Each structure stands twice: as C-alpha cells, then as structure tokens.
Structure 1
Amino acid sequence: MESDIEFYGFLISRYEYEEIDKISKYLFQRTKHRPTIGIICGSGLGGLADLLTDKDVFKYETIPNFPVSTVSGHSGCLVFGYLRGVCLIAMKGRFHPYEGYPMAKCAMPVRLMKLMGVKTLIVTNAAGGLNKGYNVGDIMIIKDQINLPAFAGNSPLRGVNDDRWGVRFPAMNDAYNKDLMKIAKHCAQELKIDRFMREGVYVMTGGPSYESVAEVKFLSNYGDAVGMSTCHEVTVAHHCGLKVVGFSLITNKCVSDYNTKEVANHEEVIQAANERAKDFERLIESLVEKCNKYEEFLNKRKSINVTNGH
C-alpha cells in the first residue's frame, strides 16, 4: 500500500511496488490497449492526447489510489489509444510538488507506465526561456537537466530502494536518449519546423512562484529553460529502464531586468502553448511513428544476437 515512512528525519510518502502493480491490473482489466510509448503532456499541451484514436479515458479521480491534478491547463486523465498505429498511454495533466504531493507520488505514473509495458517515454513541458537567444514558441529538445529539488535531497528515489525498479545509485549522464534526440531532429527537418527547434538544458525549480530576477541571472549561467516539472519524472523513468526523449515549449521569456514592468504569468504560458500546439502535435506524431520503428529495429537486432549466441 501507499505508505508514509521516516527516513533520516524526512517523512516520505511513496508507493510500494505491489500498490502500483494493483493499479496497473485495475487498468488492464478495463482497457484492451497495451501501450509501448508513454507521453506526459505539459501545460496547454493536452491536445496531444486528443489526437489518439480508439480511446479509453480514465479520469484520475476514478483510478484507485491515484493523485489528482489541480492545475489549470491540466485536464487530469489517463488516455489509452492509437497514434499512427502505435498504442500509447498519455497523461493529460501531470502532478507537481507545489500541489502538495511528495516527489515520489508525482513521478509514480511513470512506474505505472513501466508495468503496463511502456518502453519509451516522451515528456513535454511549458518552460520559461533562460537563453536570451530563445523566442516564445521555440521548441527545445532537452539534452540534459538540472534537478534543483534533488540538490536539497528532495529526490523521487529517496528512501529504501526496491531493486525491482532499478539500482540504488543510477547514473544520470545518459538519461535523455541520444538516438531519440537524433530522431526528433530528423522529424523536425522533415516537417520543416527545424527553424524554431533548439537543444538545451532544462532546469527544474520547486515553484509555484516564478523566478526572481536574481534567480534568472543565476540559472541562465547553467540552463536554457526553466520550469516546475519533468526532472523527477525523467529520473524515475531512467531508473526503471525507460528510454526518454523530452521537449520544452518556450512559452515566455524569463524576466532578467529589474527595470521592466513585465511579469511572468500562467495565462501567457497557456496562450503560447495553444499558438504552437499544431506544430508540436505534428512533431510528436512523427516522432511516435519513428520511435516505434526504432524499437522494432532494436528488438530485431536483439533477436539476431540471441540467435547467434551473443
């Protein structure tokens, strides 16, 4: 069951393996779909889930022991279905630590995806542009991350490790799959949207407040985009063996001038996401199709190696 335990003075709320397994079995009994790719839809990007056909939709509040999304722009449902013939599971709305949820609970759906057969995770988010060369509407392929909450010990992997998920000390230098990043760039070129594609480092802060001018100046030395999600999900995904590719939609420029009257706000984030949504959706559609072919290639190569005794 979900449990609260004391660990070095911290109260940790987490899900045991068996509890997540129960949730997966509950869903398996209610959908015929068996997904191989998972998508987490960021603020204003829930339209990605609407692209699926032959859908089964489960509102979060109807799933036993599942958190509930409380943020505007996050609908709050799991969607199973097909996109270009590939079976997917999409989170239409994610969970954030600033909503009051422990980090492990925010990332729990990633482990659920793992138990449901997902091999590849596509994470998306709306982010502020730290890099002064970025424009609102740019799409950044995430090449690496800086997980600031984890710097303070607030990691989704904190607590007793269950080896059924992964090793105690996972390396994170290869958390974002380089092959999938190349595929994403190829998709953008084919769709002729590479002119506003970027590649950079995503920084996660705790939120819900936006960054101060001093914080923006500090973070811009190390990252290209900043937001309040994603890093804990990617950490858990990598820990349990999923291949990950991630994208940040730049929905606002971070305020780095003390004299400006501009202020960051959630409404402009949603508006910018809506304006770039169609291009983003086309990119994800193409990526899903090619990720599936890439997975088939890896399985075929693995089968050949096993046959040859390697």
Structure 2
Amino acid sequence: MTKASKTIRKIAGDQPIDAAIVLGSGLSAIGELLTDKVTIPYSELKGFPGGGVSGHGRDLLIGTMGGKRVAILTGREHYYEHGNAAAMRPALEAMAELGAKTLLLTNSAGSLDERFQPGDLMLLSDHINYAGMNPLIGEPTDRRFVNMVDCYDPALRAKAHDVADRFDIKLGEGIYLWYSGPSFETVAEIQMAVRLGANAVGMSTAPEVILGRFLGMKVWACSSITNMGAGLSSENISHEHTKTMAVQGAAKLKQLIPALVEEL
C-alpha cells in the first residue's frame, strides 16, 4: 500500500470508497455536495499534484454523496505543468487501493461542434490522444498493453443519459481530442481536429482515462463546454473565460453526478 493511501486511511478512516471523482477547471463547487466531509490537503499526500492551475482545488475530499462513500480530487496536474503524462498516477493508484471501482472525470473543454455550445455538457464517448503522450510509458509489466475499446464505460454513459433526462439536462455524446497545451490551439489546429472527427478539445482527461483502465476501474467522463474552438466564433479565448463559463456547466454537473453516483 502506498504512503498516500495509508495517510488517507489514518485521517479519513478505513471504510472503502466506491468511486473517485476528478474535478476540472472551475468545477470545484461539486465538492460542496459531500456530507460527512473530511478534507486532506494534497501537500500531505505523497505523489499528489503539486503547484497548480488557477481554478483548480488542491484538496482531497472524502465523504458521502448519493448514498455512496466517494473521494473527490478537487484539482489535477496537467501534462503541460511539468511534461509528465503520468503525473496523476500516484493519486489514482491511491484511489484504487482505497477501493474505488469507478472513476468519474470532469473537465472544461472547447467545442468543435455547433451541437455543443458554451454552458452545455458533452459526455465523452471516446478520445483522440493527439498529444501523443502516454502515462504508461516506462511501465515494465505487460499490464501496460491496456485495451481501450469502450474505455468510456457504455453502462455508465447509459445511466448518465437516464439521469440527464430525469433532470431535463441536455447531454450529448462526443469525441474529445487531447491537446497538450498550455497555449490554446491555432485556427488551423482546430480545423484539423474537426477533420479528425473530434467534437471537443481540451488539455486533460485522456491520461487519467488510460490510468483508470490500467488500474481496472470503470471510467466515465464529461466535459463542461466553456467556449468554441479558435476561429469558430468571435469570442476571446482565455483561461479566465474558461473559469467563468465553467460555472454554468458546474451547476448541471451538481445535479448529474450525485444521481449517477447513487446508481453505481
């Protein structure tokens, strides 16, 4: 067992968690939904994200949501921060050791498709690893050859659609393209992504999906659409704009995620 897992159990108790949730830019309000909450700063957990991006939290939250015991990572480390695609591996390994069988991921993303407008949610059905990096490079065992077919669990996606219908939340599905960042994409790169069949673009999530499948977890991911891709609208794309618009998606995710967790 990792040192981080031992620390978490010492502080939050030995009861296993049912799911782990990773929050994207501007989505930390979802953590407010936990009851019986225990807060552990990342700085106390070996291998957890350091540094940070504005709009991301820096705490691990353990508590109850939808009748289940869950862990919420209020922020992630991105590849663009230190050039490490496996930056989230220690944190996700700790989640698996604590019993998590399900990994729920959120992010803020730019839309490449008129069906998805700022403020909408897009359920990920697949992704394109355009960044070309892989968090399993260097893994010495044959476990590194992870099957990525249906890496976004079809049953979890179906449950999410049922929940969205119940709350009258618009929820389409699309393909997410992982671009390394931190600069935003050029107009030409956005046009390339459209031609490759992507519906949204962002700077995270794909590495965690690979790691989640590697660790044997069922994976689900949803994007909060904060802007249209470069050249697809006249809006000024910036991180401040991303954080502002993510609030609209967060309000919908605050309804969607607890109800989804209840169905696990």
Quick check: TM above 0.5?
yes
Q: Give the count of matched residue pairs.
A: 262
**Residue 267 (structure 1) aligned with residue 248 (structure 2):** no
Contact 1:181 1:245 in 2 (8 A): yes
Distance 1:282 1:69, change over 3 A: farther
Aligned residue for 2:263, secondary structure, equals: helix
Deviation at 1:59, TM superposition (A): 0.8
Residues 160-175 of structure 1: pairs in structure 2 closer than 5 A: 160-162=139-141, 167-175=143-151
Work out the CA distance in 1 between the residues paired with 2:130 and 2:230: 19
Work out the CA distance in 2 between the residues paired with 1:69 and 1:132: 35
Aligned residue for 2:20, secondary structure, equals: strand
Residues 202-281 of structure 1: pairs in structure 2 closer than 5 A: 202-221=176-195, 222-256=197-231, 262-281=235-254
Gaps spanning 5+ residues in structure 1: where? Answer: 1-17, 292-310
Q: Which residue of 2 is the match for residue 4 of structure 1?
A: none
Query: What amino acid maps onto 1:226 in structure 2?
Result: V
Query: What amino acid maps onto 2:7 in structure 1?
Result: Y
Find runs of 4+ consecutive structure 1 residues off by over 3 angstroms. Answer: none
Distance 1:34 1:201, change over 3 A: same
> What are the Cα deviations for residues 84-136 of structure 1, in whole angstroms up to 9, with x where unaligned?
22100000011101111511123331221111100001000000001133211
Bigger Rg, structure 1 or 2: 1
Q: Which residue of 1 is the match for residue 125 of structure 2?
A: 143
**Residue 284 (structure 1) aligned with residue 260 (structure 2):** no
Aligned residue for 2:177, secondary structure, equals: strand
Deviation at 1:160, TM superposition (A): 3.2
Deviation at 1:28, TM superposition (A): 1.0
Work out the CA distance in 2 between the residues paired with 1:67 and 1:184: 28
Work out the CA distance in 2 between the residues paired with 1:238 and 1:261: 38
Aligned residue for 1:268, secondary structure, equals: helix
Deviation at 1:187, TM superposition (A): 0.2
Q: Which residue of 2 is the match for residue 158 of structure 1?
A: 137
The TM-score with structure 1 as length reference comes to 0.81
Query: What amino acid maps onto 2:258 in structure 1?
Result: E
Distance 1:191 1:69, change over 3 A: farther
Contact 2:28 2:57 in 1 (8 A): yes
Work out the CA distance in 2 between the residues paired with 1:245 and 1:66: 21
Residue 11 (structure 2) aligned to one of 9, 30, 36:
30
Residues 58-207 of structure 1: pairs in structure 2 closer than 5 A: 58-149=40-131, 151=132, 154-162=133-141, 167-193=143-169, 196-207=170-181
Deviation at 1:138, TM superposition (A): 1.0
Across the aligned residues of Structure 1 and Structure 2, the Cα RMSD in angstroms comes to 1.5
The TM-score with structure 2 as length reference comes to 0.94
> What are the Cα deviations for residues 137-180 of structure 1, in whole angstroms up to 9, with x where unaligned?
1101100011122x3xx2100013346xxx23111112110000
Aligned residue for 2:219, secondary structure, equals: strand
Work out the CA distance in 1 between the residues paired with 2:234 and 2:246: 23
Work out the CA distance in 1 between the residues paired with 2:68 and 2:216: 20
Contact 1:95 1:101 in 2 (8 A): no
Work out the CA distance in 2 between the residues paired with 1:69 and 1:139: 28
Contact 1:69 1:75 in 2 (8 A): no
Deviation at 1:69, TM superposition (A): 4.3
> What are the Cα deviations for residues 202-233 of structure 1, in whole angstroms up to 9, with x where unaligned?
11111000000000000012200100000000
Aligned residue for 1:58, secondary structure, equals: strand
